[in-house]
């Protein structure tokens, strides 16, 4: 069963084709990693999926429905969640309120919201900082807060844009465990540079290069793919 698919998805920026006629299918329940060299169009591609930017042409389907013309907020309400690559929390609000804003789309009532927030903060181990101002958190903790804001929405599709950037090794280990734990409930699309995270969590990998899909397969297949090695992995 396919949760998300695109057909001929294309985005031009003033003559530069960032994403070029991408056909992409993501089955329900899969953890998919999206990798590729810098400037391959990864962030542009996921921004097209969740409606942050308008495509030049092409269609997106989510759960069998064409969502190509829905504005971003409606796509999110269908069960997508997006965590920003460049940390984009509400810097002057508390950690609790940041997550609560994400939670209130799903749960209602003060007590229920608080419960959901604390559960999500527990998952990223930030519960003891709930009352801090988000802008005062360290960079790594802000990344974790972003993830918590994604988790609390209980999305059907969770799009994580470089979630482990700036995390410590132990935080990265915790993140791997967290992602594996979500496997039963959530489909995940993960943009990631850290190869150990990709290899240990992803079911399948899509490699993007110059805005086109270069290869797709299991981690082992991708690891062995000569074209991928040439384009991206270098010496592997």
Partner 1 sequence: MSDRQKTVLLHGGLLALLLGLQFVLPAYHHGNLARIMVLAVYAMGYNIMFGYTGLLSLGHALFFAAGMYGMGMSVQLLGATPAPAMIGGLIAGAVVAAALGALALRTADVAFMIVTLMFAQAGYLAVLYFGSVTRGDEGFVIQQAQRMMMGIDLSDATNRYFAAFILFALCLIAVLWLVQSPFGKVLVAIRENEERARMLGYDVFRHKLIAVILSGTMSAAAGAAYGLLFGYVGATFASVQYSIFPLLWVLLGGAGTALGPFIGTLFMFYLIDLSSNVTSAYMLIAGVALVVLTLFAPQGLIGEVRSRIWRWLP
In the complex, least distance from residue 105 CB atom to partner 1, rounded to whole angstroms: 5
To partner 1, the closest distance from the beta carbon of 212 in angstroms equals 26
Could you count the other beta carbons within 10 Å of the beta carbon of residue 151?
25
With a CB cutoff of 8 Å and minimum separation 6, the contacts of 3 are: 26, 27, 28, 62, 63, 156, 157, 187
Q: Which is nearer to partner 1, 72 or 213 (by Cβ)?
A: 72
Q: Please, which residue, 100 or 202, has the CB nearer to partner 1?
A: 100
- Our CB check for partner 1 shows the closer of 21 and 114 to be 114
For the packed helices 110-123 and 139-151, what is the interaxial angle rounded to 10 degrees? 130
- Least separation, in Å, of the C-beta of 79 and partner 1? 9
Cβ-based nearer residue to partner 1, 149 or 207: 149
The residues that touch partner 1, with contacts defined as CB under 8 A, are 50, 52, 71-74, 76-77, 82, 84, 88-93, 97, 100-102, 104-105, 108, 149, 153
């Amino acid at each position: 069963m396919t949760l998300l698919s695109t057909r001929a998805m294309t985005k031009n920026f003033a003559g530069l084709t960032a994403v070029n006629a991408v056909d992409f299918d993501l089955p329900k329940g899969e953890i998919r990693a999206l990798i590729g060299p810098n400037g391959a169009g990864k962030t542009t591609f996921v921004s097209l999926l969740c409606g942050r930017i308008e495509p030049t042409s092409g269609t997106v389907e989510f759960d069998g429905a064409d969502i190509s013309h829905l504005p971003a907020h409606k796509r999110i309400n269908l069960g997508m969640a997006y965590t920003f690559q460049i940390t984009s929390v509400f810097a002057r609000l508390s950690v609790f309120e940041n997550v609560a804003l994400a939670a209130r789309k799903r749960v209602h009532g003060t007590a229920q919201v608080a419960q959901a927030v604390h559960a999500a903060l527990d998952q990223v181990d930030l519960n003891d900082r709930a009352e801090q101002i988000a802008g005062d958190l360290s960079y790594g903790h802000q990344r974790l807060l972003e993830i918590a804001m994604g988790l609390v929405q209980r999305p059907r599709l969770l799009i994580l844009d470089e979630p482990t950037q700036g995390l410590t090794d132990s935080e990265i280990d915790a993140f791997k465990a967290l992602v594996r734990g979500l496997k039963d409930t959530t489909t995940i699309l993960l943009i990631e540079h850290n190869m150990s995270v990709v290899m240990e969590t992803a079911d399948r990998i899509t490699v993007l290069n110059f805005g086109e899909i270069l290869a797709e397969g299991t981690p082992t297949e991708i690891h062995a793919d000569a074209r991928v090695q040439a384009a991206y992995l270098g010496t592997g």
